[in-house]
Amino acid sequence: MPLSLSFSPCPNDTFMFEAMVHGRVDTEGLSFDVRLADVEALNHAAMREEVDITKISFHAYAYLRDCYELLPAGSALGCGNGPLLVSAGPIPKEKISSLSIAIPGRYTTAAALLKAAFPAVQDLREYVFSDIEEAVLKDEVEAGVLIHEGRFTYRKKGLHLIADLGALWEERTGMPIPLGGIVVRRSLPEDIKGKAARVLRRSVEYALAHPGSGMDFIRLHAQEMDESVMKQHIELYVNKFSVDLGEEGRRSVDYFLQVVRGM
**Is residue 237 within 8 Å of residue 12, measured between CB atoms?**
yes
Predicted confidence at residue 224, as pLDDT, reads 60
Look at residues 173, 196, 231 and tell me which one is the last residue of a structural domain: 173
Which of 2-6, 66-70, 81-85, 223-227 has the lowest average pLDDT?
223-227
N- to C-terminal Cα distance for the chain? 40
Are residues 92 and 41 both part of a single domain?
A: no
Predicted confidence at residue 228, as pLDDT, reads 85
Q: What distance in Å separates the CA atoms of residue 215 and residue 22, rounded to the nearest whole number?
A: 13
Are residues 51 and 122 both part of a single domain?
A: no
Domain extent, residue 198, equals 3-77+178-261
Q: Which residues pair with 113 in a beta bridge?
A: none
147-204 pLDDT, tens digit each: 988 888 899 999 999 999 999 999 999 999 999 999 999 999 999 999 999 999 999 9
Q: Is the pLDDT of residue 12 over 90?
A: yes
Are residues 131 and 195 both part of a single domain?
A: no
Look at residues 173, 195, 229 and tell me which one is the last residue of a structural domain: 173
Q: What distance in Å separates the CA atoms of residue 250 and residue 232, rounded to the nearest whole number?
A: 25
Predicted confidence at residue 208, as pLDDT, reads 97
Residues annotated as part of the active site: 148
Q: What distance in Å separates the CA atoms of residue 154 and residue 164, rounded to the nearest whole number?
A: 13
- Percentage of the chain exceeding pLDDT 90: 86
Domains identified in the chain, total number: 2
Q: What distance in Å separates the CA atoms of residue 183 and residue 6, rounded to the nearest whole number?
A: 10
Are residues 107 and 140 both part of a single domain?
A: yes
Look at residues 134, 158, 173 and tell me which one is the last residue of a structural domain: 173
Are residues 197 and 236 both part of a single domain?
A: yes
Are residues 148 and 34 both part of a single domain?
A: no
56-112 pLDDT, tens digit each: 999 999 999 999 999 999 999 989 889 999 999 999 888 999 999 999 999 999 999
Q: What distance in Å separates the CA atoms of residue 16 and residue 86, rounded to the nearest whole number?
A: 29
Are residues 31 and 46 both part of a single domain?
A: yes
Are residues 219 and 165 both part of a single domain?
A: no
Are residues 153 and 119 both part of a single domain?
A: yes
Q: Find the mean pLDDT for residues 245-252.
A: 96
Q: Find the mean pLDDT for residues 123-142.
A: 95
CB atoms under 10 Å from CB of 10, counted, come to 27
Helix (H, G, I), strand (E, B) or coil at 148: coil
Are residues 59 and 25 both part of a single domain?
A: yes
Predicted confidence at residue 227, as pLDDT, reads 84
User: Quick one: residue 228, left, alpha or beta (phi over 0 = left, psi -120 to 50 = alpha)?
Assistant: alpha
The model carries a pTM of: 0.94
Are residues 70 and 151 both part of a single domain?
A: no
Domain with 150 in it: what CATH number?
Answer: 3.40.190.10
CA dist list (Å): 70 to 91, 152, 177, 193: 38, 29, 16, 10
Are residues 185 and 169 both part of a single domain?
A: no
AA letter at 240: K
Residue 25: pLDDT band with limits 50, 70, 90: very high
